[in-house]
């Protein structure tokens, strides 16, 4: 009974969520688009000509935002967006999509082949592992996903490039932040307005690779 009530509440909140309505109006595939928009605006990131890698991209709202910012006056993409996810994703014009598990070396190799030695300006990751409700196991999974994004960014970013990663407050969070600070000159925590108050999610924005 409680579960049914919870799902009813969720549906009610979702229908009345202003960001859900705005996403529908603007044609975004998820309300998460507004989280990235605010992060990019606050940090003054993503300019025409940039190379962007979107990890955990499905359903595609972050790639949609990136595309909007790279589209030239003639409708062509000025720059490059490579998106990756385990789940299938409906095509987005000008976005190169790779389906596969980011934790799989063969998939990582495919991504590297696509980049063909090009350095990346911005890595964005809205990846979240499937959570079990067991906090120790979940924090380890979250840490692992963040570390994968960090390792990829360290290997492929331009020296002045940036990394945006979704993390969650709780056990292991401070260790994730420390790990990021070891590799980047500037690491800040951001909670965009579109991030629900009840959610423990927070975004780490890391800029300037250390040598």
pTM of the model: 0.90
The residue written with tokens 């911005």 in the block is 122
Domain-wise residue ranges, the chain: 30-209
Annotated catalytic residue: which of 166, 181, 193, 210? 166
> Which CATH architecture is the domain 30-209 placed in?
3-Layer(aba) Sandwich (3.40)
Rounded to whole angstroms, how far apart are CA atoms 160 and 40?
A: 15
198 pLDDT higher than 90 = no
Q: Which two tokens stand for residue 54?
A: 């979107």
| Feature table: binding site | 60, 62, 85, 101, 126
204 pLDDT higher than 90 = yes
In the chain, pLDDT over 90 holds for what percent of residues? 69
For 100: left if phi > 0, alpha if psi spans -120 to 50, otherwise beta; the answer is left
166 is catalytic: yes
Q: Could you tell me which residues are beta bridge partners of residue 209?
A: 184
Q: For the residues 90-102, what does the mean pLDDT come to? A: 95
């Amino acid at each position: 009974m409680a579960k049914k009530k919870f799902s009813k509440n969720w549906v009610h909140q979702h229908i009345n969520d202003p960001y859900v309505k705005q996403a529908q109006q603007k044609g975004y595939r998820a309300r998460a688009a507004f989280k990235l928009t605010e992060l990019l605006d606050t940090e003054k990131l993503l300019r025409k000509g940039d190379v962007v890698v979107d990890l955990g991209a499905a359903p595609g709202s972050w790639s949609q935002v990136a595309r909007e910012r790279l589209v030239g006056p003639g409708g062509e993409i000025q720059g490059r967006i490579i998106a990756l996810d385990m789940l299938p994703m409906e095509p987005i014009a000008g976005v190169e999509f790779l389906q596969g598990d980011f934790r799989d070396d063969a998939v990582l190799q495919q991504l590297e082949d696509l980049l063909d030695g090009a350095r990346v300006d911005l890595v964005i990751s809205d990846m979240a592992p499937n959570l079990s409700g067991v906090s120790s196991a979940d924090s380890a999974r979250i840490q692992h996903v963040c570390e994968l994004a960090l390792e990829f960014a360290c290997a492929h970013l331009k020296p002045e490039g940036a990394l945006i990663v979704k993390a969650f407050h709780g056990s292991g969070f401070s260790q994730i932040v420390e790990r990021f600070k070891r590799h980047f000159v500037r690491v800040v925590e951001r909670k965009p307005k579109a991030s629900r108050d009840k959610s423990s999610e927070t975004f780490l924005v890391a800029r300037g690779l250390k040598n």
